[in-house]
Amino acid sequence: MQIIVNNKAMEMAEGSTLSALAETLRLPEKGVAVAINNQMIPREEWSATGLQAGAQVVVIKAACGG
């Protein structure tokens, strides 16, 4: 199935979870926030949050500095 991650199309297997996406993207353990269709998903819910075809995912990584 196809999803959109930060405005780029990406293929994921049917039934994939947000945790699987995080592994695919090699997201760090801390300093990352994820929203699906404009709804923030707490990290503790990632493994139980399934992805649907066409989902709009936004990944935000914290950055140090100013």
For the chain, what are the domain ranges?
A: 2-61
Q: What is the pLDDT of residue 20?
A: 97
Average pLDDT over the chain, rounded to whole? Answer: 95
Q: Using pLDDT thresholds of 50, 70 and 90, give the confidence band for residue 10.
A: very high
Q: What is the pLDDT of residue 64?
A: 74
13-41 pLDDT, tens per residue? Answer: 999 999 999 999 999 989 999 999 999 99
pTM recorded for the entire structure = 0.89
What is the CATH T-level fold of the domain 2-61, as seen in this structure? Answer: Ubiquitin-like (UB roll) (3.10.20)
Instruction: Count Cβ neighbours within 10 Å for each residue of 24-61 and write b for 16 or more, e otherwise.
Output: eeebeeeeeebebeeeebeeeebeebebeeebebeeee
Q: What is the pLDDT of residue 66?
A: 59
